[in-house]
Structure 1
Amino acid sequence: MHKFKYYLLLLSLLIARNIKAQQAKHTFALADSVFLLDGKPFQMISGEMHYPRIPREAWRARMKMAKAMGLNTIGTYVFWNLHEPQKGKFDFSGNNDIAEFVKIAQQEGLWVILRPSPYVCAEWEFGGYPYWLQKEKGLVVRSKEAQYLKEYETYIKQVGKILAPLQINHGGNVLMVQIENEYGSFGSDKDYLAINQKMFKEAGFDGLLYTCDPAADLTKGYLPGLLPAVNGLDDPKKVKQLVRENHNGKGPFYIAEWYPAWFDWWGTPHHTVPAEKYAGRLDSVLAAGISINMYMFHGGTTRDFMNGANYKDGTPYEPQISSYDYDAPLDEAGNPTPKFIAFRNVIQKHLAPGVALPAVPAAKPAMAIPAVKLTAAVSILQNLPKPVSSTTPLTFEDLQQDYGYVLYRTQVKGNGKLTIKGLRDYAVVLVNGKTAGTLDRRLNQDSLNLTLPKGSVTLDILVENLGRINFGKYLLQNKKGITGSVMFNNSELKGWQMYSLPMANINQVKFGSTGVNYTSPTLQKGTFNLSKVEDTYFNMSDWGKGVVWINGHNLGRYWRVGPQQTLYVPAEWLKKGRNELVVFDMIKPGNTIVSVDKPILDQVKQ
């Protein structure tokens, strides 16, 4: 008994000592050309990965992979629309627990670069802004407009309560905090940037603050007195020259976003960049003593309707796909790629003599499960909530709806041309409950010729929010749904009923039996049993367009246009025994789901 008590006391002391060591205060400062960690030169070798794009259960495993590639730091944005989805209602739980993400990094011996700017871009819905900002009268994001600054201040103070204590000068592992994000690509108001700095300090971020901008816009986006980091430039000489020109002739030098590849959007080829194209560039940057943050080290998956979109004058609307694989060193499932190995070999060269990297953890196993038969189904028209009535169509924002779908219903007579002005973003048009056609904002489609039965018929328009724009001036014009009038034979249709279908809780859907030949958008459900759990990929290439849920988790969108044809299913969200699968398809419902053990991210279809 005495021995047991002794060992228990010893264990308690070791745990306490370990916790104290983790919480020991360090210093992090700027010298003329290098960063100083505890007074000694420190080169950040960082990689970006975003907590909501990775299942919480896998955060630690991804960080172990980061260490194995040679990273000493992790970069992440903080996403306002996740943490304040409705005005005044904050959520830092579950996969939104950013503080736990940072603490796990510390436990794994990693530093963190924190990017809690209200605007993040990130190929993320509305660039990270919550949809409800558009309901506030007169509010203008990324400006000195009073209402915006008020909401911004409320949010950043909530973030500060949780994350400011994790800064390095308070015993945490957050080295630096970024204000705004690539502001120089949007504006040049230094007073606005100074307000950002003031808010961050008042929220408790009293350590090192910095700005980051693409090279061409850095002069507009940096704030005198803060370190100007550069994005998208990896010529050591040019990086150093640009930073010195804007920082009193001094460094340190930090590439805040170094791109080893790129993201994808629907209907265009998958982007890949060979590892050999960038391994040499990484070598030259590290040899020059420049700190770096790879965007992305690990992309993961953009789920829950949270993908963004790009749009600028003269180009199509470009909604991004659900996979955020990014052709990154760590793939969508968290496995090392040839790029990972190539970069690891480069980083190893620049470590201190005698320092060896950890062994690379084994790749996660993946499996193809037997085909899943969907045994219950219901038309979306049979699952409508109570409608809101209005003379003219209301937007998502008018309906206080963030994401998903809205069904617009009215009555029409005769034959003719249907025109939807301001469609955002994709519509299925139904006549008396049967699909008559589709309209796609990407293709500038806004009209459809309809031949209708005699008498008054029911016209339904199911509209999908395909992702709010996340970059550029059109951030300010981001409402969803039908944002203009609907014309039929040159006459405006009035007298609308609108049904909100955010599909945030799929468990509320009431299913019936299958066997019905549905001619409208359809929800279907099936179950399957597993004796083991491993990653898998649902192959949706024979389906049309929709969303899949596994055990209540939204896996993201699929769309036959590609390039993404599979949806990644993390092992962490599967169960031994019974699993439940739900599919919503807008245009081509099937009745069987097939899975494969490898992703298909490179097949574009017409």
Structure 2
Amino acid sequence: MRKIKYLFILMLFVFAGNIQAQKLQHTFALADSVFLLDGKPFQMISGEMHYPRIPREAWRARMKMAKAMGLNTIGTYVFWNLHEPQKGKFDFQGNNDIAEFVKIAKEEGLWVILRPSPYVCAEWEFGGYPYWLQNEKGLVVRSKEAQYLKEYETYIKEVGKKLAPLQINHGGNILMVQIENEYGSYGSDKDYLAINQKMFKDAGFDGLLYTCDPAPDLVKGHLPGLLPAVNGLDNPKKVKQLIRENHNGKGPFYIAEWYPAWFDWWGTKHHTVPAEQYAGHLDSVLAAGISINMYMFHGGTTRAFMNGANYKDDTPYEPQVSSYDYDAPLDEAGNATPKFMAFREVIEKHLAPGVKLPAVPAAKPAMAIPAIKLNHAAPLLQNLPVAISNKTPLTFEDLQQDYGYVLYRTKIKGSRKGQLLIKGLRDYAVIMVNGKTVGTLDRRLKQDSMNVTLPAGTVTLDILVENLGRINFGKYLLDNKKGITGSVSFNQAEIKGWQMYKLPFAAVNQVKFGGVAKASGVPMLQKGTFSLNTVKDTYFDMSNWGKGVVWINGHNLGRYWRVGPQQTLYVPAEWLKKGINEVVVFDLLKSQSTLTAVDKPILDKLNN
């Protein structure tokens, strides 16, 4: 019996040893000039793509495209406002299952660079911060303020539970983890950066950590002792010089964000950059042995209300469009572009002898859909929830509302003409008098007032306000509340006594639809169904509509706005089904009776 006992214990030790060996099957380290994977020089050829901007059902297909272009690594942010949408309520399910995203990458033979900083920028709502941080008294983001650090720590530990076990030093495929994000463009507090580092380690991120900053800000944003990476610089000599100056004269050399194109915002032209302008830069960087992460390799779509905005003192408010096509090597639908093929050709030149790239998968088929009749309607003003009353207007944050719309209603004396002034409008308002639209105000255009004629009697004044996206970059991160953030006056007399109706539109399955709408030019929800014998990608053409949001089979596809440049909304085949499909459109300005879909996107058409 004693021999059996000893044999059993020995077997347990062997079994445990095998498990440990499997966990430590790879190593990743820094040498003086290169990264070392299993002790051998390794050059990361990485591309950024974000799990929430791609349907979960398509993650693997996008990764196969990454391999086909020659990438060996992908980079992604982790988005706090997705994973903790309300304080203390975490969500890592469905399209938010970042751990599954990383695991699929491993199955497809890809390494991962993880960027889980609470701040991501990324043309994303509030730069990734959850809206409710603004309700925490005294909280100051990106600082040593105690309340912020407490919420930060809670969040990063939850992320660590999901992702720390997937680091390469634990048998996973995460090579490196980035702390903070372009902090040098915001501040220079090294103590704050050190707190970041400690929080990451306490959360289980015990592998290689690094920082990334634009070249002019790298000195301010780098924490000594960590690898500094540079964004937006691709001159090999300058990259090496800058990193050596901030890393004890050593490398490795990593361009954490290399921009082969750019993003779009409403009312400005679509941004494109020819591949030939960047192929040579990529060639020189790879020839110099520098590792690189393309931002973006594949942008995808910023769906629902998750786009961010830019704002500076000398520029107008600039909310970003829903399409995150980015003129990237992989287009919004995940198909190879001429840029993809040009970059693939460059990468092939730098592969080890005998290494061949997989064939490029065929483009996904796309289809047009004939006119879809929207034969059910729900006028917004007839589908309001229970009101919240207050003497003065309340912000979205006051109402505990994250995104979407709020309707502000009051009663005022009629038989007058005058100026309606909304102080602190954020960001777009439809003004209605007795249920009829009389005008709009647009923060982009610095509009906050309009002349209004009030009919006789007591008048119902409605102001429907849309959150067009919180600022995601710069000092105004601390000034990001939405709705009516000041007062409303008529002829310089402040209006008191408001009812507010919360319209977050997290879903539309509770809306009560009736028959075909007779009215037009007022905010309206419309619904229709259509049948498919086969499913393919398609694009809803919204160019004849006004401004609003579209849902397909319950999925929010994002915003449209006639001003452009984006005129279509991408509909992934993965979200369509054979048989009956349901579409819902919410338009603030100009409803239509039919909706059509085309087989190509329209991303470059501006309207006045």
**Do these two structures clear the TM 0.5 threshold for a shared fold by scoring above it?**
yes
1:291-323 deviation per Cα after TM superposition (whole angstroms, max 9, x unaligned): 000000000000010000000001000000000
1:419 equivalent to 2:437? Answer: no
1:279 equivalent to 2:257? Answer: no
Name the amino acid aligned to 1:200.
F
Separation in 1, partners of 2:126, 2:273: 27
Distance 1:321 1:20, change over 3 A: farther
- Contact kept in structure 1, 2:179 and 2:210, CA below 8 Å: yes
Of the candidates 483, 501, 525, which is equivalent to residue 523 of structure 1?
525
Separation in 2, partners of 1:550, 1:470: 28
Matched residue, 2:10 = none
* Aligned residue runs from structure 1 range 445-484, under 5 A: 445-484=447-486
1:525-571 deviation per Cα after TM superposition (whole angstroms, max 9, x unaligned): 00000000000000000000000000000000000000000000000
* Aligned residue runs from structure 1 range 219-258, under 5 A: 219-258=219-258
Q: What SS does the corresponding residue of 1:301 show, helix, strand or coil?
A: coil
Deviation at 1:73, TM superposition (A): 0.1
Runs of 4+ in 1 over 4 A off after TM superposition: 19-24
1:338-380 deviation per Cα after TM superposition (whole angstroms, max 9, x unaligned): 0000000000000001111000001100000111010000111
Matched residue, 2:593 = 591
* Aligned residue runs from structure 1 range 483-498, under 5 A: 483-498=485-500
Matched residue, 2:200 = 200
Q: What SS does the corresponding residue of 1:62 show, helix, strand or coil?
A: helix
Sequence identity (%): 84
Matched residue, 1:431 = 433
- Give the number of aligned pairs: 588
- Contact kept in structure 1, 2:213 and 2:230, CA below 8 Å: yes
1:88 equivalent to 2:88? Answer: yes
* Aligned residue runs from structure 1 range 115-194, under 5 A: 115-194=115-194
Matched residue, 2:35 = 35
- Contact kept in structure 2, 1:433 and 1:519, CA below 8 Å: no
- Contact kept in structure 1, 2:426 and 2:483, CA below 8 Å: yes
Q: What SS does the corresponding residue of 1:233 show, helix, strand or coil?
A: coil
Separation in 1, partners of 2:24, 2:579: 45
- What is the TM-score when the length of structure 1 is the normalising length? 0.96
- What is the TM-score when the length of structure 2 is the normalising length? 0.96
Q: What SS does the corresponding residue of 1:506 show, helix, strand or coil?
A: coil
Separation in 2, partners of 1:338, 1:378: 44
Matched residue, 2:378 = 378
1:577 equivalent to 2:590? Answer: no
Matched residue, 1:602 = 604
Distance 1:515 1:78, change over 3 A: closer
Name the amino acid aligned to 2:595.
I
Matched residue, 2:342 = 342
1:391 equivalent to 2:391? Answer: yes
- Contact kept in structure 1, 2:23 and 2:169, CA below 8 Å: no
Unaligned runs of 5+ in 2: 1-18
Name the amino acid aligned to 1:456.
T
- Contact kept in structure 1, 2:377 and 2:513, CA below 8 Å: yes
Separation in 1, partners of 2:529, 2:388: 35
Matched residue, 2:445 = 443
Separation in 2, partners of 1:131, 1:272: 32
Separation in 1, partners of 2:379, 2:192: 49
Separation in 1, partners of 2:137, 2:483: 19
Deviation at 1:25, TM superposition (A): 2.4
Separation in 1, partners of 2:61, 2:593: 35
Deviation at 1:515, TM superposition (A): 4.0
Name the amino acid aligned to 1:363.
A
Separation in 2, partners of 1:504, 1:444: 28
Query: What is the Cα-based RMSD across aligned positions, in Å?
Result: 1.0
- Contact kept in structure 2, 1:22 and 1:107, CA below 8 Å: no
Matched residue, 1:14 = none
- Contact kept in structure 1, 2:520 and 2:590, CA below 8 Å: no
Distance 1:466 1:21, change over 3 A: farther
Name the amino acid aligned to 1:182.
E
- Contact kept in structure 1, 2:266 and 2:319, CA below 8 Å: yes
Q: What SS does the corresponding residue of 1:238 show, helix, strand or coil?
A: helix
Matched residue, 2:7 = none
Q: What SS does the corresponding residue of 2:519 show, helix, strand or coil?
A: coil
Deviates more, 1:586-595 or 1:149-158: 586-595
Separation in 2, partners of 1:382, 1:364: 41
- Contact kept in structure 2, 1:83 and 1:91, CA below 8 Å: yes
Separation in 2, partners of 1:543, 1:103: 41
Deviation at 1:21, TM superposition (A): 10
Deviation at 1:518, TM superposition (A): 3.4
- Contact kept in structure 2, 1:408 and 1:499, CA below 8 Å: yes
Name the amino acid aligned to 2:459.
V
Q: What SS does the corresponding residue of 2:586 show, helix, strand or coil?
A: strand
Separation in 1, partners of 2:23, 2:495: 64
Matched residue, 1:559 = 561
Matched residue, 1:16 = none
Deviation at 1:395, TM superposition (A): 0.1
Separation in 2, partners of 1:304, 1:100: 22
Q: What SS does the corresponding residue of 2:148 show, helix, strand or coil?
A: helix
Unaligned runs of 5+ in 1: 1-18
Separation in 2, partners of 1:415, 1:493: 15
Deviation at 1:519, TM superposition (A): 4.0
Name the amino acid aligned to 1:541.
S
